[in-house]
Chain A
Amino acid sequence: MKQLRHIKGLPLLVGVISLTITLLLWQALMIQRETSINRFTLLAAKSVKSEIANRLLFQVNSLARMAKRWESHKGTPKNEWVADAQAHVMGYTGYKGIEWVDPSLHIRWIVPEQGNHEFENIPAGFEPKRMQAIEKAQQTKSPIIGQVVDLLEGGRGLLTFVPMYVNEQFNGFILGVADVDEFLDDVISDHTIPGYNIRITENGQVIYQRGNDEQLDRQWGYDATLALYGIQWQIRVWPEQVLVAESKSILPNLLLSVGLIITALLIFTTQFSQMTSQQAKEIAKVNENLQKEINERELAEQAKDKMKQALLQSQKMQAIGTLAGGIAHDFNNILYSMIGYVEMARDDVEPDTLVYDNLSKVISVGERGQELVSRLLSFSRQQQHDFKPLSIREVINSTLILLKPTLPASIAIEQRDEIEGEDLVLGGHTELQQVLVNIVSNAVDAIDDQGKITLCLYRIEADDAFRERFVKLRKPSYLVLEITDTGGGMPQHVLTRIFEPFFTTKEVGKGTGLGLATALGIVHDHNGEMTVESKEGQGTKIFIYLPEYKVKEEE
């Protein structure tokens, strides 16, 4: 299902499928309706045909009965025949009259008599269609209904010729005349199928029509053929508008509308679902990226922490080293002077005296002390680390990053890099960082409120003046880091003692006095030099000189 979701164009596909189903169902319902209308129309046609056939049959039979009577009696006396015929005429709606046609094919008797006298003694087949029917009846020796003819008295008539045979000899016809319209009206209205219209044609000519609607006729009309007693009628039936309208249900259109709405909804929901899934994917991705970033930041933080730890550790070790070194130096002086004094005192006493012996012991003890100091010194000198080529810029930048959180916002840090090209020195990364940390911390402490610390980096070639000033610096070129602060500066008497171990102007507990001493020691370890310039009220400038490391040269 998940895979399905991501198909492009799924909403469109869903929409098309839904629309297709809707249209198919709609079409099916329409067809169903059509089919039902058709079926009913067909039934109606058949029913009409059947009704007409029945009536025709009926009235032919009763004429045939009259004929039979004639045949069996070898002729019926006129008054009997007239009475029979009258009953007949009265009995059937639409009947205009009944005639007896004699074997010479002349009309002899007519019922009703009134108004029909002009027809007496005229030939029955005075008109081609009649003649046709007569001939056919004689031929088939059975009742024949002729084609619809125009009646002399008006209207159109349906003529039924029933031939009679006495002693197997043609004995004339019983001719029934019915008014087509009246006859058919009666038939169809008696057993009316409500809602349908009819058209009856004979040989392409319309003999009867009820209702007129070309379109409905064309769309829904159904044919039934009536072939009976020689007539060939095409009965066409079609539903009235009312009927069609009735069978029109709202269902198909309702279905169509509902289908369209559902289609639209499906498209929307699919689209929406895709969109939300897309959004969810995007959110997941953003989440993933965020997580990645968080992880990276964490890693960076960890790396920073590690560096801090290393620095802290190194600081401790350096401090210890400096401490040891500082103590050792002062202690050496103490022991030296002490031993010296005792030696001189011993010279003033007689040997082999207790005083002499005791003084000797003092000297021994003092020498032990010196040994101890010397061990302490070698420990302090073990702080030498593996030196590597380092980029001063990198050391400065990484240190500033470490220091950033501790720097007050009111103090600005400015960096100026005036070195072109490489900026390498041979040294220890953590140790050099320590130097910077110490100096920058001092600078920050020197600045009361607002101020600026500038770190300027440049190269200096060791010329004669340089060598004269810095006797110990023997390399050809040095990288100089100049750290300036806008702090309170130092008076001369403080300046001279600045590098002394344990010398501090801070309150007890606020500073060990080892910072600059340690820094100086490290710079010296790097075969460099550090100097200070300061003016009270104007700030302090510290210069760190480090020998430049040139790859080719060293190798």
Chain B
Amino acid sequence: MASILLVEDDEFVRDMLCQMLTRASHEVKGAIDGEDALEKLRTMQPDVMITDIIMPRKSGTALISEVKKKHPDMKIIAISGGGRLDPEGYLDLSESLGAHVSFKKPVDKEALLMAIDLLKISENE
């Protein structure tokens, strides 16, 4: 059971993931983009932040660097939508910037949930 901040600009993906994570007994809060995420981070302390990479206003990578500075302990999972605008290199980049793990959409449900659990456990340690 982890508190998750989900940063995803696509409405349906955000909703679906929220549902999916909630079903898996996690506490999920959604943010529509990087700015929104930073706003929400002022008042909450999630265990894990799951963020899309390409987003308007503040890209995922920028968000990751900022969050890493402000909340160094937070676990970050990066997901990318693929496509031309989202070369694979960006995932490696996000990992080197501070994301602990990264996935390509469509994300395997089991893999994602396992990652969250592992990160939660490592946090506790």
Q: Do A and B assemble together?
A: yes
Chain A contacts to B: CB under 8 angstroms: 321-322, 324-330, 332-341, 343-344, 347, 370, 373-374, 377, 380-381, 468, 471-472, 496-497, 499-501, 517, 520-521, 524
Q: Can you name 4 extra interface pairs (CB under 8 A) apart from A325-B83, A330-B83, A336-B106?
A: A322-B84, A326-B83, A329-B83, A340-B16
Whether A517 contacts B85 by the Cβ 8 Å rule is: yes
B13 contacts A by Cβ under 8 Å: yes
Whether A497 contacts B106 by the Cβ 8 Å rule is: no
B86 contacts A by Cβ under 8 Å: yes
* Given A344-B23, A471-B97, A472-B90, A337 and B82 contact (CB-CB distance below 8 Å): no
Q: How far is the CA of A335 from the CA of B81 in the complex (A)?
A: 11
* Given A332-B105, A347-B23, A380 and B84 contact (CB-CB distance below 8 Å): yes
Whether B90 contacts A496 by the Cβ 8 Å rule is: no
- A-B complex: 4 closest residue pairs judged by Cβ atoms: A325-B84, A329-B83, A337-B12, A340-B16
Report the tally of A-B residue pairs with Cβ distances under 8 A.
Answer: 92
Q: How far is the CA of A327 from the CA of B83 in the complex (A)?
A: 8
Q: Which residues of B contact A499 (CB under 8 A)?
A: 85
Q: Which residues of B contact A329 (CB under 8 A)?
A: 54, 81-86
Smallest Cβ-Cβ distance to A521: which chain B residue: B84
Identify B105's interface contact among A321, A322, A333, A500, CB under 8 A.
Answer: A333
Q: How far is the CA of A520 from the CA of B85 in the complex (A)?
A: 8
Whether B61 contacts A332 by the Cβ 8 Å rule is: no
Q: How far is the CA of A46 from the CA of B10 in the complex (A)?
A: 147
B62 contacts A by Cβ under 8 Å: yes
Whether A337 contacts B10 by the Cβ 8 Å rule is: yes
B109 contacts A by Cβ under 8 Å: yes
* Given A335-B106, A337-B13, A377 and B61 contact (CB-CB distance below 8 Å): no
28 A–B contact pairs at CB < 8 A? A322-B84, A328-B82, A329-B54, A329-B81, A329-B82, A332-B106, A334-B12, A337-B12, A340-B17, A340-B106, A341-B12, A341-B19, A343-B20, A344-B16, A344-B23, A347-B23, A374-B82, A377-B84, A380-B84, A381-B84, A471-B61, A471-B62, A471-B65, A472-B61, A472-B90, A496-B56, A496-B57, A521-B84
Q: How far is the CA of A501 from the CA of B86 in the complex (A)?
A: 13
Q: How far is the CA of A405 from the CA of B60 in the complex (A)?
A: 41
* Given A328-B84, A471-B93, A333 and B12 contact (CB-CB distance below 8 Å): yes
CB distance from B9 to the nearest CB of A (A): 9
Q: Which residues of B contact A333 (CB under 8 A)?
A: 10, 12-13, 81, 105
Whether A341 contacts B16 by the Cβ 8 Å rule is: yes
Q: Which residues of A contact B16 (CB under 8 A)?
A: 336-337, 340-341, 344
* Given A370-B106, A471-B65, A472-B61, A332 and B56 contact (CB-CB distance below 8 Å): no
Q: Which residues of B contact A497 (CB under 8 A)?
A: 56
Q: Which residues of B contact A326 (CB under 8 A)?
A: 83-85
Q: Which residues of A contact B19 (CB under 8 A)?
A: 340-341, 344
CB distance from B83 to the nearest CB of A (A): 3
Whether A377 contacts B90 by the Cβ 8 Å rule is: no
Q: How far is the CA of A338 from the CA of B109 in the complex (A)?
A: 13
Interface string of B72-90 (1 = CB under 8 A from A): 0000000001111111001
CB distance from B57 to the nearest CB of A (A): 5
Q: How far is the CA of A501 from the CA of B54 in the complex (A)?
A: 13
CB distance from A305 to the nearest CB of B (A): 29
Q: Which residues of A contact B83 (CB under 8 A)?
A: 325-330, 332, 377, 380
Whether B13 contacts A336 by the Cβ 8 Å rule is: yes
CB distance from B112 to the nearest CB of A (A): 10
Chain B contacts to A: CB under 8 angstroms: 10, 12-13, 15-17, 19-20, 23, 54, 56-57, 61-62, 65, 81-87, 90, 93, 97, 105-107, 109
Whether A336 contacts B105 by the Cβ 8 Å rule is: yes
CB distance from B51 to the nearest CB of A (A): 14
CB distance from A344 to the nearest CB of B (A): 6
Whether A339 contacts B106 by the Cβ 8 Å rule is: yes
Q: Which residues of A contact B61 (CB under 8 A)?
A: 471-472
Q: Which residues of A contact B10 (CB under 8 A)?
A: 333, 337
Q: How far is the CA of A497 from the CA of B57 in the complex (A)?
A: 8
Q: Which residues of B contact A325 (CB under 8 A)?
A: 83-85
CB distance from A316 to the nearest CB of B (A): 15
Smallest Cβ-Cβ distance to B88: which chain A residue: A381
Q: How far is the CA of A504 from the CA of B24 in the complex (A)?
A: 40
Q: Which residues of A contact B56 (CB under 8 A)?
A: 496-497, 500
Q: Which residues of A contact B15 (CB under 8 A)?
A: 337
Q: Which residues of A contact B106 (CB under 8 A)?
A: 332, 335-336, 339-340, 370
Q: How far is the CA of A334 from the CA of B15 in the complex (A)?
A: 12
Q: Which residues of A contact B84 (CB under 8 A)?
A: 321-322, 324-326, 328-329, 377, 380-381, 521
Q: How far is the CA of A25 from the CA of B120 in the complex (A)?
A: 132
User: Which of B10, B19, B97, B109 has its CB near the most chain A CB atoms (within 10 A)?
Assistant: B10
Q: How far is the CA of A328 from the CA of B105 in the complex (A)?
A: 11
Q: How far is the CA of A447 from the CA of B86 in the complex (A)?
A: 32
Q: Which residues of B contact A347 (CB under 8 A)?
A: 23
Smallest Cβ-Cβ distance to B90: which chain A residue: A472
Q: Which residues of A contact B12 (CB under 8 A)?
A: 333-334, 337-338, 341
User: Which of B12, B65, B83 has its CB near the most chain A CB atoms (within 10 A)?
Assistant: B83
Q: Which residues of A contact B17 (CB under 8 A)?
A: 340
Q: How far is the CA of A381 from the CA of B61 in the complex (A)?
A: 22
Smallest Cβ-Cβ distance to A496: which chain B residue: B56
Smallest Cβ-Cβ distance to B54: which chain A residue: A329
Q: How far is the CA of A326 from the CA of B83 in the complex (A)?
A: 6
CB distance from B20 to the nearest CB of A (A): 6
Whether A344 contacts B13 by the Cβ 8 Å rule is: no
Whether B85 contacts A521 by the Cβ 8 Å rule is: yes
CB distance from A364 to the nearest CB of B (A): 13
User: Which of B10, B20, B85, B90 has its CB near the most chain A CB atoms (within 10 A)?
Assistant: B85
Q: How far is the CA of A334 from the CA of B86 in the complex (A)?
A: 16
Q: Which residues of B contact A339 (CB under 8 A)?
A: 106
* Given A337-B15, A344-B16, A370-B106, A472 and B82 contact (CB-CB distance below 8 Å): no
